[in-house]
Every structure is written in structure tokens, then in C-alpha cells.
Amino acid sequence: MMKSWVEKISALCLPARVHVCDGSEEEAATIASEMVERGTFVPLEAKKRPHSFWCHSHPDDVARVEENTFICSKKKEDAGPTNNWKDPTEMYAMLQTLFHGCMTGRTMYVIPYCMGPLSSPLARFGVEITDSPYVVLNMRLMTRMGNEALKLMQGKPFVPGVHSVGMPLKEGQKDSPWPCNPGNRWIVHFPGERSIWSYGSGYGGNALLGKKCFSLRIASAIGRDEGWLAEHMLILGITNPQGEKKYIAAAFPSACGKTNLAMLTPTIPGWKIETVGDDIAWMRFGADGRLYAINPEAGYFGVAPGTSMKTNPNAMRTIAKNTIFTNVALTKDKDVWWEGMDGSFPEGLTSWLGTPWDKGAGKPAAHPNSRFTVSSRQCPIYDKTAEAPEGVPISAIIFGGRRSSTLPLVFESFDWAHGVFLGASVSSETTAAAKGEVGKLRHDPFAMLPFCGYHMGDYFAHWLEMGKKTAPDKLPRIYHVNWFLKDANGKFLWPGFGENARVLQWIFERTSQRGSAHKTAIGYLPDALNVQGLESVNLKTLLTVDRDAWRKECEELSEYFQLFGEKLPKVIAEQLDALRERL
């Protein structure tokens, strides 16, 4: 099946040559050398950052392009109001025209890969066909890619994905260092046939089809049909001073602190954090009735700006070698730099645009959504159970967003249904991870707004049904956090970063029936948090329920939920009504 499909795509795209990727070190080194020769990659100083490269994209190919992302279900109503939809027959016909000859003059790479540990029954296989060597090297870091995956997937279903930068090369034509087609971009998903087509962008989740396209948009549809969850969540392990360990999953919109929390260095003595994953979780119930999660990815595609030894020392140690840096700044001694990195800015920087950086120009040296790509195995706190075939048992699920007011630091849901309501109610001030206006408040249910592969009303219903699959006492407890509260002067009220372990400590103890809390209109709030050693932290303000602000929140939510029409589960509407009454 795979061979005939590859031949079919080759006949459509007309590449100069076809290469089936084996995932080897030798293959990666050869491709990287070719990219250096082409001017796409700049090798970094080997003594400072061995086997690492810097590159920059086209200025208009820097983030996910949600306006060009489509869910092509058979019926428009199945895609829902939060997705762009086109008729699958019409879209497929258009794609056939678009992709005809699109790889002329280029190498067509065939990337067999596995999402999840190779030995896991929860893992799934995919094959991405691409004409981008950048995609090959990133997929090698982000997935289990190559010969091992190819052997295991023989005779098994796989998700086919076709990607092209959309720039065929005529004979003798000089290639661009970052080929793309910003004026003609399409990221298209067919959830019915479990396939992905992407054209025109070479960046991130638009081009690395194992990432958001497969692991969330397609996998969420598979999970709905098979009774499991594909979620935009980090997974961390937390161990208390007594050696008791629990696993927590957490969903935040992109660039709202998932990687920092996943790799957190606790400031409270005796507590330890280990990371299973920083972005995606696939979760299903085990034979014991508990919810188990795997990280389908094998690497990090992390946001660079703001990452430092102060904010995330484990990330900084992870990217010390074998890393691809995209759209950060380049120092004159061939190292990387970005805003928020430790120390003062170096002289003689090359900006993310590949031009000399002028400090006085008022523009950042690194793009706000610049990234590093690196293998998870390099993380110094990579959890030893991260490769466990059965996954890890989840004791708590956390939702959160970037909110400067209203939402308190932390609170717990009353039960699973109330927790699903909290997930459906997530909203956040936008960041640079998606193209568009920054700082605007937008709803992002379960942090899945750009990633749910079907109608979000049905997605809420699926979460509610999942809660019926086991005994209530075996379900994870559900929480909401907000690290981003500000005072009247715009100053953050909570120090965040390593201090977030204090909130995790309360959550940990709540799941062990030890942490104390009191019931409020919005959920259970802590009676106290461990703030020993913290100065100038006003817990009363951080844990206040502003009833007037919450009444406005209810009205805003009521208006938003109308978007889902008859597909909005009755339980969600009832939860909103109950919140109004409690207020």
C-alpha cells in the first residue's frame, strides 16, 4: 500500500529524484551539509554548540497559518464553526492541480515515522512525503523516524501526508535558501480518510506533518471514533520529598508556558519534576480504570525568546548541542541569541532576517516565535518512564491561559463535568505563536481551538463521555491555573517559573486527599499555599473571586457558547447556569 501510494505521489509531483529516509546519523549529516552549501543552514561554533545549526525563514513564513488551515470532512457541520471547511471532493481536485509538478527539480523525501514509543500499543504510524530537507531534519528530531518505524509499520495502517514548499525549480534555476510560497498556502486535513496535504509553507506545524496536523487534528478525530483523547498537553512527573510520584497533564495555548512548566526546576526543597512531554498527550483508560498518557512526539519544537537559565535552565541545557535554531539571532562568533536570554545583548548580531541588527531600530533581533528543535532525550530531566509502552497514569489535569485579571492563581473543579466546563471556557491573550494580532483575548477551549479535527461541540461531548468510562474516584482531578495576573500597574502578581512548583504541590496534595481547600462559586480554592521564603506575594489578591468580573465572564461565555448551536452539550449550558446561580 505504501509503495503504490509513494509511486502515485511521485507521478503527481514529478520530483527529480526520490529518497526514502532511513533516519541515520550519516543521512542527517549529508542533508545538513547540503543545506549549508545551499545557504539555508549556518553551522554554529562546534566548541560552543556542537552539531547545531542556525537558519532563518522567509519573513512571511514564521508561524502557523490558521486562516489557510482546513478540515475537509464530508459535511460542513462536522468541521464545526471553529474550523475552516471546504468540500473534500472540490479540495482534492484543487490539490491535484496544485501539486502537479510541484517538486520538479527537487528531491522527494519519503519519511516513515512513528508517533509514540515504538513498542507502545498506543503509538500510530505516519509517512510524510516532502520536498523540504529542513522538514526531514526536524522530523528526525520530533518523531521516531526511519528504518525502525518502517519495519514496524509493514502491513499496518498509516496516516499519509504530502508536503511541498510550492516552488518547483526549472533547469538551471537557483534555489532560495528558504523556498516557500506565502501567497498560496494550504494546510488541509481529511479526517475521514486520515490524510494530510500541505502546500506553500516550510515552517513548523504547517510543514512538520507529524506535529499539529497528525498528533492533534487527525488524532483527535481518531480518538473520538475509538474512545481516547488526543490533547494539546504537556505531561510531567512530580515527586514529593517522601518519594511519592504522580503524573500531571496540562493544557495551555501555545507560548503560554507549557515547556517551562514541563521542565520546571522547583524552588521548594525536596520536590522533583521530570518531563514526559511538553506539547502533546494521547490518553486512554487502562485496565485498572485510570487514565494513561503517552507523548507521541520525540522532541521539542520550543519557543526560544524568554528562555534562559533563569526561566528554564533545563531547556537551556537541552539545547546545548544537536539543535536546529530557526529565526533566532546569530552572534558574530557563530552562536545564537534571543530576547530574554541571559546576559546583555552581544555586539554584531545578525537578526532573524539574516541582516545586521540595529539595536536602535526598535525591532527584535529574534522573531517572537523563533524556535529550537531538539531531541527529548537530551533533556536532563527526561522522565525514565517517558518511553513506557503503556504510558503514565494521570492524577491531575490542568487548564490555563494568559489572563491579566479575573481568573485566580489556581482552583479545582467540583467534578469531571465541571472540569470539562472549565476546559471549554479557557480563554487567553494571544501570543506570537499564531499569525495575527498579539495581546487580544480569544477563546481557546482546552487550548485546542486551532487543533481540533472536528466540531468542537462534539469534542466537548466526547470529553463528557470519557468521564463515564470509569469510576469517579479513578478520574483525574481537574484544575485551572493562571500565572499571569497583574496589578493596576501592569506588574505580575505571581513570580512564576520555578515558583509554580508551589501550586503543583497543592495540586499534588489534593490528589492525595491531603491539601485543604474551601468551596467558592467557581470551584475549590486553596486554604493556603506554601509561600515560605517568597516576599511580596499577596495570596489574598491572587486567590480572590471577583464576583462582578465573573458575572461579566459568564455573559461573555454565554455569548461564545452560542457559536456551537445545538451541538453544545446540555451539560455545558447547565454548568454555566449553575455558575451564575452560585455567583
pLDDT band at 185 (very low <50, low <70, confident <90, very high): very high
Q: What CATH class has 230-297+383-582?
A: alpha beta
- Residue 166 Cα to chain centre, angstroms: 25
Residues designated catalytic: 256
In tens, the pLDDT along 195-253 reads 999 999 999 999 999 999 999 999 999 999 999 999 999 999 999 999 999 999 999 98
Query: Measuring CA to CA, which residue among 110, 118, 56, 451 is closest to residue 252?
Result: 451
Q: What digits encode the pLDDT tens for the residues 252-274? A: 987 688 999 999 999 999 999 99
Q: Is the pLDDT of residue 437 over 70?
A: no
State pTM to two decimals: 0.96
| Cα–Cα distance measured from residue 376 to residue 299, given in angstroms and rounded to the nearest whole number | 4
Max Cα–Cα distance, the chain, nearest Å: 72
Contact status, residue 263 vs residue 316, Cβ threshold 8 Å: no
Positive or negative torsion for Cα 491, 492, 497, 501:
positive
CB atoms within 10 A of CB 171: 7
3-state secondary structure of 461: helix
One-letter-per-residue 3-state SS of 474-509: HCCEEEEECCCCECCCCCECCCCHHHHHHHHHHHHH
Distance CA 573, CA 463 (A): 15
Mean pLDDT of the 73-89 span: 97
CA–CA separation, 80 vs 91, rounded Å?
A: 17
Measured CA distances, 22 to 139, 140, 150 (Å): 12, 10, 8
No. of helices (H) and no. of strands (E), the chain? 16, 28
pLDDT of residue 126: 98
d(CA 378, CA 482) in angstroms, rounded, equals 29
3-state secondary structure of 238: strand
The whole-angstrom separation of Cα 241 and Cα 248 is 17
Of how many residues is the chain composed?
583
- Quick one: CA dihedral 24, 26, 32, 35, positive or negative? negative
Measured CA to CA, the distance from residue 112 to residue 108 in angstroms comes to 13
Closest CA to 187 of 204, 167, 170, 169: 204
SS (H, E, C) 393-433: EEEEEEEECCCCCCCCCEEECCCHHHHHHHHHCCEEECCCC
Q: Per CATH, which fold does 300-378 belong to?
A: Phosphoenolpyruvate Carboxykinase; domain 2 (2.170.8)
pLDDT for 434 equals 53
The span from the CA of 444 to the CA of 227, in Å, is 23
Please tell me the predicted confidence (pLDDT) of residue 535: 84
The superfamily in CATH containing domain 2-38+64-227 is Phosphoenolpyruvate Carboxykinase, domain 1 (3.40.449.10)
Q: Of 319-333, 348-362, 561-575, where does mean pLDDT reach its minimum?
A: 348-362
Residue extents of the structural domains in the chain? 2-38+64-227, 230-297+383-582, 300-378
DSSP string, 50-88: TT-EEE---TT-SSB-GGGEEE--SSHHHH-TTSB---H
Q: What's the pLDDT tens digit per position in 391-411? A: 999 999 999 999 999 999 999
pLDDT digits (tens, 9 = 90+) for 523-578: 999 999 999 999 889 999 999 999 999 999 999 999 999 999 999 999 999 999 99
With bands split at pLDDT 50, 70 and 90, how would you rate the model's confidence at 512?
very high
* N-term to C-term CA, the chain: 58
Amino acid of residue 469: K
CB pairs under 8 A, 24+ apart, for 187-190? 187/65, 187/68, 187/69, 187/70, 187/213, 188/69, 188/70, 188/72, 188/86, 188/91, 188/95, 189/69, 189/70, 189/71, 189/72, 189/213, 189/217, 189/218, 189/453, 190/72, 190/88, 190/92
Q: What is the mean pLDDT of the chain?
A: 96
Sign for the CA dihedral angle at 98, 102, 108, 113 comes to negative
Please name the helix (run of DSSP H) or strand (run of DSSP E) that holds residue 33, with its range, or none: helix 25-38
